[in-house]
Structure 1
Amino acid sequence: MVIEGPLARLPRRAVMVRGETVASYLWRLAGLNGMTFEELARHIGAPRTVRAADPAVEEVRLGPLARQRLAEVSGHALPHLARALVSLEDNRISERARRQVEVEAWPEGRLPVQACVGCTAGVGERPVWRVPGGQWTVCTRHGRWTAVERGQFQLGLEALPEVVEAHVRRVRLERRTGLYARALLADAQQVAVYWWQCRQMAWRGVWRARQEALGVDRSALWAVPLVVYPEAVVVAEAMAVRERQRAVGRSFAGGPAGWSTGRWVEWVGGRLGLREEMADGGHRGLEAWLMAHRNTVPVVTRLAQSEERAVPRSVPLPPLEPHRTVPEYGPLEEVSCLPWRLGSPMTSMPWRPAGESGQVVGHGPASSFLT
């Protein structure tokens, strides 16, 4: 490709939206300036045969030359573009490549999520699509749940302010814990799913009230992550406390040096305000998690390190078994080491051995924990 000097800026600039996909931004920039997607793409270096990308399922990858041209025509400096369009530099197109613009499909299970309509009011008629971090998210500014289940949809959370507050706490946990927080959130959600499917813990109280506020019943499985979200975040926070101690070979609250401790389980029940429900059977879901996250440091070593402090909350946690690798995208349940899945019989799930996918190590069927 031959570049003959910088390109002129287009008459109208598109407002930047943090986390927007490149495909979505190109559509909006083209529309604001009376151009088709194909015309704008060719203007920044795409071949004449380029086709329009579907921002709901596809992304546009730009090479270095195309990125520079986009900065010129958009009126935004390239570093500014890269901060907003977080996938802008996520490609392998070299400066010497003849094809500087490529359209590719998002991987299965990693589809873009439509941005909150409150956040994008006034930026144009076209919807804004954001780089996926999961199958759903919460806008804490406008109190909206956005998801890809049942197609793209958004849901106001005026009747469920505790869900918005839970997301604030989740963001705080992720900031402190790092990427490992995603594994803990995945496990905590699966524990909550266990409680929901076994009709334990908060089912007769707050969970039923949330379902009624949403106008759904137990058959609406898409709503379960939303219904159990506040309790799942509380459990994830408790798991982070346990993992910071396990990272230095300690047991919870100075308790026995075994892999499991009733003190931690009882503490989680207290934080949830569900001590009786925990004692009546809710403890089993947490014990399955403790088995997968048991302390593997030898007893002699643990006793020698008994005075060592846990990893401070301000320091990100390193990946620990069985989550040595934590994917940044995709459904949370695929990140979890717990074997049961929403909508499947709880006593028939196999207890899968550990492997590259980070599944649980066990010595018997899941029913030994789940019945």
Structure 2
Amino acid sequence: MLRGGVLSRLPRQPVWIRDETSASFLLRLAGLNGWSFGELVVRLGGGQGGLSEPDPEVDEVWLGPVARERLAQLCGRSVVRVEQALPSLAGSRITVRARHQVRVERWPQAQRPGHACVLCAAGKSEGPVWRVRRDTWTVCVRHGRWTGLGQGRFQVGVGDLPEIADAHVRRMRLERASGEYARALLADASQVAVYWWQCRQMGSKGVWRRRAAVLGVGREGLWAVPLIVYPEVIVLAEAMAVRERQRAVGRSFAGGPAGWTTGRWVAWVGERLGMASEMAAGGHRALEAWLMAHRNAVPVKERLALPAPEEGYRRRPLALMAPHRKVPAFGPLDAVSCLPWRLGAPMTSVVVRR
């Protein structure tokens, strides 16, 4: 087991499942090798007893640097690979000098984990596999399944709506390109779509109605709304990222104050969505509210005097900007948004200054 100060790789290894919680993975690792959770904790540096077995539905296991190194040895992987597979490890506050390198703590209510796709977990675990829940729901691209919470639903097949999986792939691309700020853009784009849905604007009579019919839900099925509007949310978030990259360097959309005005950006979004007429008929109001919150504070005269942005700036992650100086990594997206309305709540008035 211990050779020259290094732990040997365990003979039986769990199949790695993307974004699994540490509690879920450690319980699977221990069970496969005939250990109790307490026996595994001892080998990770958690002390001799005193830790009860976690409930992976509500608890997380936090590992310090020493425990992460030992877990990597037991798995025959590098620490970097283990931390990539188990994302909550990065949130541990246990220091290298801590006497006990393992702690079991309850997740905050808003961050409690969700079920992994049942097809991803099939044959790989006797019980459910639990994933870090960055949002209230996610999409398994591989199996075409929506996993989340809503009226008791944890798994919904979306194989008849391939645009959902395509949108999720685009979302991951946006997150890689824009960094932490992408979550704020996704939150705001989602809330704009909520405005359109509740005001029966944009896709309510067309594409959104078709998706709702495929899912077998009516307008009262609010759990399905984020899923129904998802492809348009991603298109909008991408358009917001284009606009925010220009704002980050003190420029107007398309690179200059004489170029694309706010009105033309809104019209461009409508064209990208294939809903230009709906945008002109009232859909623009929600976007104008977003633009007011994200307005370019650099005067035009100063913008004209700025040097050209450095080459390749569009490929770099976006820095956090007002009104999103802090973006929480976990919890529902609507809690991240700067927009005031919420799905299912009475709509607030949107005042747009002209």
Helix, strand or coil: the match of 2:104? strand
- Which residue in the other structure is 2:342 paired with? 341
Q: TM-score, normalised by structure 1?
A: 0.85
Q: 1:37-85 CA deviation, whole Å, 9 max, x = no partner?
A: 3343345434423211111221111234433443444444544423322
Are residues 257 and 111 of structure 1, via their aligned partners in 2, closer, same or farther at CA, if it must alter by over 3 Å? farther
Are residues 233 and 4 of structure 1, via their aligned partners in 2, closer, same or farther at CA, if it must alter by over 3 Å? same
Are residues 259 and 5 of structure 1, via their aligned partners in 2, closer, same or farther at CA, if it must alter by over 3 Å? same
CA contact (8 A) 1:9 1:75 kept: yes
CA distance in 1: counterparts of 2:17 and 2:321, whole angstroms: 34
Gaps spanning 5+ residues in structure 1: where?
348-365
CA drift at 1:305: 3.8
Are residues 40 and 246 of structure 1, via their aligned partners in 2, closer, same or farther at CA, if it must alter by over 3 Å? same
Cα RMSD (Å): 2.7
Structure 2 residue 302 is the aligned partner of structure 1 residue 319: no
Are residues 80 and 166 of structure 1, via their aligned partners in 2, closer, same or farther at CA, if it must alter by over 3 Å? closer
Residue type at the aligned position of 2:287: L
Structure 2 residue 15 is the aligned partner of structure 1 residue 15: yes
Moved more, 258-267 or 160-169: 258-267
Q: TM-score, normalised by structure 2?
A: 0.89
Are residues 277 and 43 of structure 1, via their aligned partners in 2, closer, same or farther at CA, if it must alter by over 3 Å? same
CA drift at 1:223: 0.9
CA distance in 2: counterparts of 1:345 and 1:116, whole angstroms: 33
Helix, strand or coil: the match of 1:87? helix
Helix, strand or coil: the match of 1:99? coil
Identity %: 61
- Which residue in the other structure is 2:126 paired with? 125
- Which residue in the other structure is 1:300 paired with? 301
Gaps spanning 5+ residues in structure 2: where?
none
CA drift at 1:261: 1.7
Structure in which a larger fraction of residues adopt helix: 2
CA distance in 2: counterparts of 1:74 and 1:179, whole angstroms: 29
Helix, strand or coil: the match of 2:269? helix
CA drift at 1:165: 0.9
Moved more, 174-183 or 79-88: 79-88
- Which residue in the other structure is 1:262 paired with? 263
Q: How does 1:241-256 map to 2 (within 5 A)?
A: 241-253=242-254
Helix, strand or coil: the match of 2:87? coil
CA distance in 1: counterparts of 2:303 and 2:239, whole angstroms: 21
Q: 1:223-251 CA deviation, whole Å, 9 max, x = no partner?
A: 11101111111111111111111122222
- Which residue in the other structure is 1:141 paired with? 142
CA drift at 1:202: 0.3
- Which residue in the other structure is 1:218 paired with? 219
Q: 1:244-291 CA deviation, whole Å, 9 max, x = no partner?
A: 111222222467579962111111111111111111110100010111
Helix, strand or coil: the match of 2:318? coil
CA distance in 2: counterparts of 1:83 and 1:175, whole angstroms: 14
Task: Give the number of aligned pairs.
Answer: 350
CA contact (8 A) 1:257 1:299 kept: no
CA drift at 1:7: 5.0
- Which residue in the other structure is 1:29 paired with? 29
Tell which has more relative contact order, 1 or 2 (C-alpha 8 A, sep 6+).
2
CA drift at 1:106: 1.4
